[in-house]
């Protein structure tokens, strides 16, 4: 995994602007701590930071290749899981290779097929390729946006980077917010609208899209989307196909020249990955799989069951590590660290995020990085196999809004009454909700349940899953750790999209089909374990810390967030210690303490980036 930056101006010579590239590239050092490289020509500049995973010597970037007297240059962040097949295909077409890294495979595949190659790629990626003869730049992002890519255009210059912070090192970019930024922060946050970079005029290249920049301007195109088609496979064929696609995805993602591990919570998803990976290691005569889990000091003493977090992890982790003989490491985080790293996790994400859920992941990845460079995660299973409570809860299904974020009136009350008159969060959210649903294709053959759940699944994959993928990428790459997500293989997602709800929710259970498929793979207690999300702290000292931080903010008229907030309502939240948000205000985990921490992160964010607010 890596990070890259660049800019292109087809009307001016930018070859003397390497100092700008270096300033931008320095922001991505944590994404790529091993190497850096630059390429500057008359109308294009690339910078790259590299985290070495495969073929250290032959994978240096920017990478160049010539074909029929035309020169191509690539900067790339990601991993191709079908590089071996593509490489063989290209060899048969007459291409040769100097090494075995996937960067060379990707570049020569693009030379061979152009943008049509995007229909062949299986992996996680964002990349930029410069075609010297055409004087054309192509930017690409993977099917689900697992790897980030942001851009803007100012004075005929297209500026792009793996992270927003790097864009702001370009002198032409002005940092500002507008009313839609406020709606994103307070109405949708920590989620965001696909394609919206929150800062004014900063855009995110949408998942499954490519951008061409040439003398004709900018052309954006979607190269892949979910297709609604009748599911004709019988039950046994359906199970066999899902099992094959899942196992194939996991095995493809075990390729690495550096130490690799699995995140293991004892939940169904991480246990499936651990089981397949451990069995694969054993079949190859390799050392036992390294696994990692996260917990918090005194969490067992303070844990309280809820509909959203019904049990804790340790009992189930012990079952898995003993069953599959993994070399297990438990990372235990102290509560003060969670509050201390709220700012670092905000900087890693470039936005206010999931509060201590982010800082916990950042600390988890920091500790994993001491022993591994690549980690496999069970992320995305709940989105595609219907694992979240809102697939089943009537209040969420009937909310007529994003089902993981139904506290709309409470969110509006967070705003200063004067700003609230100008910024209507509900109208903004309603528009994004309805616009997103307009892309869902319902089939005449769909049952009522299948049609309804298509809508919820689409929203969950395109909004909630993206929030978690952003979190996973930023928190891991901030520590130079590559995080892979086998459940997010586009072949698996496409197949599951058309499986009827009655099969997907087999026996009326969340992830019922998945449980049935792996019943012979895993211990029964793991198969039957009720869905439990990524663990959060239940230590009351965390609430005390964030309450203190938020009190300091609303008592300080110089705090950058001060004029944005409804102080009376914030005081009410503080006095009740967040019990007004005992039900999650976002997802399954973010209740009162996380709301307070989120507001603190917004203030930290405004302090760090100092945007001009233009309402």
Domain range summary for the chain, segments of one domain joined by +:
2-175+193-222, 235-528
> Which is more confident, 29 or 305?
29
Per-residue burial over 410-423, b if 16 or more Cβ lie within 10 Å, else e, is: ebbbbbbeebbeeb
With beta carbons less than 8 A apart as the criterion, state whether 240 and 233 touch: no
Q: Which CATH superfamily is domain 235-528 in?
A: HUPs (3.40.50.620)
The whole-angstrom distance between residue 202's C-alpha and the CA centroid of its chain comes to 18
- Taking the chain, what is the end-to-end CA distance rounded to the nearest angstrom? 38
Binned at pLDDT 50, 70 and 90, residue 419 comes out as very high
Mean pLDDT of the chain: 94
User: How many degrees, rounded to 5, is the angle at CA 472 between CA 471 and CA 473?
Assistant: 95
Mean pLDDT to the nearest integer, 419-426: 95
pTM more than 0.85: yes
Q: Which CATH superfamily is domain 2-175+193-222 in?
A: Aminohydrolase, N-terminal nucleophile (Ntn) domain (3.60.20.10)
For the stretch 83-105, pLDDT in tens is: 999 999 999 999 999 988 999 99
Sign of CA dihedral 421, 425, 431, 434: negative
The two structure tokens encoding residue 186: 């307070």
Instruction: Say how far apart CA 474 and CA 346 lie, in whole Å.
Output: 9
With beta carbons less than 8 A apart as the criterion, state whether 241 and 492 touch: no
Binned at pLDDT 50, 70 and 90, residue 580 comes out as low
Separation in Å, CA 436 to CA 137, 194, 206, 459, 471: 29, 10, 13, 7, 22
The number of helix segments (H) and strand segments (E) in the chain equals 26, 19
With beta carbons less than 8 A apart as the criterion, state whether 292 and 264 touch: yes
> Is pLDDT at 173 greater than 70 in this prediction?
yes
Query: What three-state secondary structure class fits 378?
Result: coil
Kindly report whether the peptide bond that precedes residue 190 is cis, defined as omega within 30 degrees of 0.
yes
Surface-to-core class of residue 305, CB atoms within 10 Å of its CB (0-12 exposed, 13-18 middle, 19+ buried): exposed
For the stretch 538-578, pLDDT in tens is: 678 888 999 999 999 999 999 999 999 999 999 999 998 76
Query: What three-state secondary structure class fits 202?
Result: coil
Phi-psi region of 298 (alpha: psi -120 to 50; beta: other; left: phi over 0): left
Q: What is the pLDDT of residue 147?
A: 98
Phi-psi region of 390 (alpha: psi -120 to 50; beta: other; left: phi over 0): alpha
Strands (E), 118-237: 123-131, 136-141, 150-154, 157-161, 176-177, 203-204, 209-214, 217-222
For the stretch 123-158, pLDDT in tens is: 999 999 999 999 999 999 999 999 999 999 999 999
Q: Catalytic annotation on 112? A: no
Q: What is the pLDDT of residue 589?
A: 73
With beta carbons less than 8 A apart as the criterion, state whether 205 and 219 touch: no
Rg (CA), the chain: 24
Q: What is the pLDDT of residue 582?
A: 59
Mean pLDDT to the nearest integer, 158-186: 97
The two structure tokens encoding residue 13: 């010579």
For the stretch 517-532, pLDDT in tens is: 999 999 999 999 988 7
The two structure tokens encoding residue 519: 């019943």
The whole-angstrom distance between residue 73's C-alpha and the CA centroid of its chain comes to 27
With beta carbons less than 8 A apart as the criterion, state whether 224 and 490 touch: yes
For the stretch 370-397, pLDDT in tens is: 999 999 999 999 999 999 999 999 888 8
Q: How long, in residues, is the chain?
A: 615
With beta carbons less than 8 A apart as the criterion, state whether 335 and 220 touch: no
Instruction: Say how far apart CA 307 and CA 305 lie, in whole Å.
Output: 7
Mean pLDDT to the nearest integer, 595-602: 96
> Is pLDDT at 512 greater than 70 in this prediction?
yes
């Amino acid at each position: 995994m890596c990070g890259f930056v660049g800019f292109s101006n087809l009307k001016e010579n930018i070859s003397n602007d390497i100092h700008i590239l270096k300033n931008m590239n320095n922001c991505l050092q944590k994404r790529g701590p091993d190497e850096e490289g630059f390429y500057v020509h008359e109308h294009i500049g690339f910078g790259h930071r590299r985290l070495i995973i495969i073929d250290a010597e032959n994978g240096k970037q920017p990478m160049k290749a010539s074909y029929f007297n035309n020169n191509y240059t690539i900067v790339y962040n990601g991993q191709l899981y079908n590089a071996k097949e593509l490489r063989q295909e290209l060899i048969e077409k007459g291409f040769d290779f100097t090494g075995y890294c996937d960067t060379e495979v990707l570049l020569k595949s693009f030379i061979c097929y152009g943008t049509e190659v995007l229909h062949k790629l299986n992996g996680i990626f964002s990349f930029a390729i410069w075609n010297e003869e055409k004087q054309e730049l192509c930017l690409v992002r993977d099917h689900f946006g697992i790897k980030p890519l942001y851009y803007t255009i100012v004075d005929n210059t297209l500026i792009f980077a793996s992270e927003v912070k790097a864009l702001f090192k370009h002198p032409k970019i002005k940092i500002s917010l507008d009313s839609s930024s406020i709606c994103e922060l307070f109405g949708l946050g920590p989620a965001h609208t696909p394609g919206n970079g929150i800062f004014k005029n900063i855009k995110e290249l949408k998942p499954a899209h490519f951008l061409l920049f040439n003398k004709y301007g900018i052309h954006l195109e979607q190269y892949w989307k979910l297709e609604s088609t009748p599911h004709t496979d019988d039950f046994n064929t359906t199970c066999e196909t899902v099992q094959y696609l899942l196992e194939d995805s996991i095995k493809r993602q075990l390729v690495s020249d550096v130490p690799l591990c699995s995140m293991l919570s004892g939940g169904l998803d991480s246990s499936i990955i651990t089981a397949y990976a451990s069995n694969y290691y054993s079949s190859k005569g390799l050392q036992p799989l390294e696994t990692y889990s996260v917990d918090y000091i005194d969490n067992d003493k303070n844990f309280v069951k809820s509909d959203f977090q019904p049990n804790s992890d340790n009992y189930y982790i012990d079952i898995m590590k003993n069953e599959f003989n993994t070399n297990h490491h438990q990372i235990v985080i102290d509560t003060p660290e969670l509050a201390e790293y709220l700012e670092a996790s905000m900087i890693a994400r470039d936005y206010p995020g999931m509060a201590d859920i982010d800082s916990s992941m950042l600390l988890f990845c920091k500790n994993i990085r001491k022993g591994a460079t690549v980690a496999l995660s069970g992320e995305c299973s709940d989105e595609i196999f219907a694992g979240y409570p809102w697939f089943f809860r009537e209040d969420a299904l009937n909310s007529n809004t994003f089902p993981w974020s139904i506290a709309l009136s409470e969110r509006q009350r967070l705003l200063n009454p004067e700003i609230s008159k100008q910024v209507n969060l509900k109208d903004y959210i309603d528009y994004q909700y309805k616009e997103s649903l307009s892309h869902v294709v319902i089939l005449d053959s769909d049952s009522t349940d299948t049609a309804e759940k298509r809508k919820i699944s689409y929203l969950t994959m395109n909004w909630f899953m993206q929030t978690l993928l952003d979190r996973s990428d930023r928190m891991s790459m901030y520590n130079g750790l590559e995080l892979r997500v086998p459940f997010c293989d586009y072949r698996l997602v496409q197949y599951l999209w058309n499986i009827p709800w009655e099969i997907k929710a087999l026996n009326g259970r969340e992830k019922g089909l998945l449980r049935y498929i792996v019943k012979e793979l895993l211990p029964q207690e793991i198969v039957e374990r009720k869905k439990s999300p990524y663990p959060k702290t239940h230590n009351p000292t965390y609430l005390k810390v964030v309450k203190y931080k938020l009190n300091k903010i609303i008592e300080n008229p110089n705090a950058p967030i001060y004029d944005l907030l409804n102080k009376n309502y914030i005081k009410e939240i503080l006095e009740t210690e967040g019990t007004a948000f005992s039900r999650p205000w976002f997802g399954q985990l973010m209740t009162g303490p996380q709301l307070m921490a989120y507001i603190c992160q917004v203030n930290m964010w405004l302090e760090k980036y100092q945007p001009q607010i233009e309402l």
